[in-house]
Amino acid sequence: MQTIDLIQAIQDLPLNKRFYIIEEIIKSIKMEKMSQQMELAVHELYEDYKNDQELTAFTAIDLEHFYETK
C-alpha cells in the first residue's frame, strides 16, 4: 500500500478513529526515540564501566557470601 493510499484511507475514517491512529503513531515514535536514546546510553556507559576501575571495584567480591548480622 502506498503512502497516498494510507492517507486517503485514514481520511475516510470517522474522526475518533483518526485521533486513535494519531495517538498510536505518536506513542510508537516516542517509544522508538526512547529506545534509541537508551541504546546510546548503554553504549556510552558500557565503555565507562569497562575502562573505569572505580566502577568495577566491587566485582571482585561478587562471589563472596554475605551474612546479615542481627
What distances in angstroms separate CA 15 from CA 1, 2, 22, 52, 64, one per listed residue?
Answer: 22, 22, 11, 55, 62
Number of domains composing the chain:
1
Q: Does residue 26 sit within a domain?
A: yes
Which position has the grid cell 492517507? 7
Q: Does residue 36 sit within a domain?
A: yes
Instruction: Read off the pLDDT of residues 59-69 as tens digits, 9 standing for 90 and up.
Output: 767 666 666 67
Within a 10 A sphere around the Cβ of 61, how many other Cβ atoms?
A: 9
pTM: 0.58
Domain of residue 23 covers: 15-56
Q: Which residues of the chain have pLDDT under 70?
A: 60, 62-68, 70
